[in-house]
Structure 1
Amino acid sequence: MTPNSHALADLGWSADFLRQLDTDELDSLKPARVTGVHRDRLSALSESGPLLLTLPPGLSAGDVAVGDWVLADPSTDRAERLLGRKTRIFRRATGDASREQLIVANVDTVFLTTSCTEEFNEARLERYLALAHAGGIPPVFVVTKADKTDDPDAYLDRLRAIAPSVPAILLNAKSPGAVDTLRDWCGPGKTVAFLGMSGVGKSTLASALTGIDLETGEVREDDMKGRHTTTAREMHAIPGGGWLIDTPGMRELRLTDMAEGIDETFGEITEIASECRFRDCTHGPEPGCAVQAAIAAGRVDAGRLERWKKLKAEDAAHAASAAEKRRRGKAFSKVVKQAMKAKRPG
């Protein structure tokens, strides 16, 4: 094995991906993991070393994420097929509820990063949690700038109030050895990523994990246009084993197609809501509302309920908009086909 090559298992290859291959593909194509997405090329790693591949047929750069697995043809340097993902992080693209904007793929743990400052915001963290749950990725809270407050444990208490079962780590990202607390989630074949606002210490922690000076920038309102910021998402090796996918800070998280992720984030409310007298209960003034009864008894926070309802409404509106756009597209296609048919002679 050459110095720049990696065993597939060390790259994160597993039986989940192997099961997607047929015998002919095993003989003629090689698995490769995407480490960078460019305008018309993919950077990737395989058992034989780094590759620069053309995109799979019928796919654009927006259809592929860093962390994806592809099947590459060594004779043409082309990615022939994109394999199905185990996990992914995605959001709704700006101005288009029908388009999913991929952020990263096949991540084993996502570090949801915030700080002991005014930046700390439960509503934003609940969005990050919904994003992680919807993509099937176990989250871990990382709270930085513990040195900026006289009561850092208060921030952990606030996290326990919204996600008691999610691990939470309190640290000062600039302290020597601070990053060692994250290594339990790293290791050969494991992939991690950071999500959070710019300025909370993600770059500092990522640099400490990888030994590389990583610079990140704010994502534009639509990072599929203008400056090609997808190149800012790259996969880097972690000394001792494992991989980090570096992601820029995101100003906005637009949720769509995340009903299950939202319900898991607000699990205590979802569970109690099933006990309401009416199936279409809005959890407001209706009689027999189990959620309102739980609020009155101090078992559910009223603020949590309002944030849950807001995210559910946002997700439902975007899903409806996407469905309507698809319906119009199908109707237009039908009209075009009928017009073409009418023009044919005889």
Structure 2
Amino acid sequence: MTARMSHFPEQPPASEVALGWCPYFEDQLAPDEAQLLRMRIATVHRTRLTARSPSGVVRLRLTDGTQTAGFAVGDWVLVDPETDFLFRRLDRRTLLQRPGGGERVPQLIAANVDTLFIVTSCNDEFSPARLERYLALANEAGTTPVVVLTKIDRTTDAEGYLRQTQALQRGLAVVTLNAKTPEAALTLAPWCGAGRTVALVGSSGVGKSTLFNTLAGRSAEHAQATGPVREADAKGRHTTTARSLHATVTGGWVIDTPGMRSLAVGDVSAGLDELFAEIVDLAPRCRFRDCTHACEPGCAVRAAVEAGTLDSARLDRWRKLSEENRNNTAVRTGPRGKRIVKMPSQGR
């Protein structure tokens, strides 16, 4: 049997339920799979996978031909108790992924995430347009988005940033904090309870690594490195280079991710509908069913802009993301029985 690994610092033993096991996964088990171990993927590398079990972290043994790119941190897998061979992956409750573009496969970010913390800072790095991209991603994945505004100690207008963010989506949870203080973990505790999994996404330099260290209760010895931020443009350097699963001080689990300066959208139609619900609600009142809300007469959406009840910048961003989503979403085309999947940009 492969020896259990101990390179994850300060990671206490955890039961399956504490790791996030629930009836959704239990219902997927076949009668002859009861003897297999249930584990969660902790890290994904080019040629290897590690998983967290109730007794510790294990380097899984893979069969020839296993593609690790098909696994995400947070996945639940079944493992042979005698050999540590990976048997199979269970279906996911939620999956965060970036579109691959063209013929490339999507890039998996994290799986079985209950809450996505979208981290940004109260400075020049703040961008409503970028936040909307993350929100569309979270909505489509089925995970609950929470926007975390950091560095409130460096601004005199934290309330202004809060109001701008709350206006981006109906019912959106937004919190403000200083990621360096112990109170940050308490502020986020409602989403980080036992058995719950959160993931952190955001650009470099917004305090994501600092917040991770606070949530995970990292000592100075094991703290994740944090990078400096250029004062000229508030942009930071990447300090997280890989995704990994770690325990939080409040009994849950946190998945950190590398900073993402850009995030394309694709195959997120439902996510965009939830994000821009006010536009979706107005659309049925337009004169034409296929109204693009650009120049058609009788457009209820443009009428709302003219009346001042809908922000014109918001409509512009909806147009941009909707067009990008169409261009990055594969469609099935061709005669019946010979249909193929193509990107709209590929043409005939």
* Separation in 1, partners of 2:262, 2:340: 28
Residue of 230, 239, 243 corresponding to 2:249: 239
SS state at 1:99 partner: coil
Q: What's 1:334 paired with?
A: none
Alignment coverage as a number of residue pairs? 313
Which structure has the highest helix share of the two? 1
- Matched residues in 2 for 1:57 and 1:301: separation? 55
In structure 2, the residue matched to 1:32 is 39
Whether the 8 Å CA contact 1:33–1:67 is kept in 2: the answer is yes
Equivalent in 203, 209, 219 of residue 203 of structure 1: 209
Q: Is the 8 A contact 2:240 2:257 kept in 1?
A: no
2:171 is matched with which residue?
165
Q: CA deviation at 1:127?
A: 0.2
Q: CA deviation at 1:230?
A: 9.7
Match of 1:102 in 2: 108
**Structure 1 length-normalised TM:** 0.84
- Please list the CA deviations of residues 156-195 of structure 1 after superposition, one character each: whole Å capped at 9, or x if unmatched: 1111221241111112222342332111111110111111
Q: How does 1:110-125 map to 2 (within 5 A)?
A: 110-125=116-131
2:311 aligns with one of 282, 294, 301: 301
Q: Provide closer, same or farther for how the CA distance between residues 322 and 175 of structure 1 changes in structure 2, counting only shifts above 3 A.
A: farther
Task: State the alpha-carbon separation in 1 of the partners of residues 266 and 62 from structure 2.
Answer: 26
* Segment of structure 1 superposing worse, 174-183 or 99-108: 174-183
Query: Which residue in the other structure is 2:7 paired with?
Result: none
CA pair 167-140 structure 1, distance change in 2 beyond 3 A: same
Structure 1 contact 56–79 (Cα < 8 Å) conserved: yes
Query: Which residue matches 1:64?
Result: 71
Unmatched segments (≥5 aa) in structure 2: 1-10, 228-238, 343-348
Query: What's the Cα RMSD here?
Result: 2.3
Is the counterpart of residue 88 in structure 1 residue 98 in structure 2?
no
Label 1:310 to 1:189 Cα distance change in 2 as closer, same or farther (>3 A). Answer: same
| Contact 2:166–2:173 (CA under 8 A) maintained in structure 1 | no
Residues 53 and 176 (structure 1 numbering): CA distance in 2 closer, same or farther, change over 3 Å? Answer: closer
Deviation at 1:311, TM superposition (A): 0.8
Residue 254 (structure 1) aligned to one of 261, 264, 289: 264
Once the two structures are overlaid, the 10-residue window that deviates more, 16-25 or 269-278, is: 269-278
Match of 1:136 in 2: 142
Specify whether residues 56 and 162 from structure 1 end up closer, same or farther in structure 2 by C-alpha distance, changes over 3 A only: farther
Does the Cα contact within 8 Å between 2:150 and 2:207 map onto a contact in 1? yes
Q: Distance in 2 between matches of 1:141 and 1:263?
A: 19
Mark the CA change 1:35 to 1:301 in structure 2 (over 3 Å): closer, same or farther.
same
Task: Find the aligned partners of 1:285 and 1:58 in 2 and give their Cα distance.
Answer: 53
Choose from 185, 190, 200 the match for 2:191. 185
Which moved further from structure 2: 77-86 or 3-12? 3-12
- Contact residue 98 and residue 321 of structure 1 kept, 8 A: no
- Give 1:149's match in structure 2, choosing from 148, 151, 155: 155
- Give the unaligned 5+ runs of structure 1: 218-228, 330-346
Partner residue, 1:341: none
Map 1:305-324 → 2, pairs under 5 A? 305-320=315-330
Work out the CA distance in 1 between the residues paired with 2:34 and 2:304.
56
SS in 2 for 1:272: helix
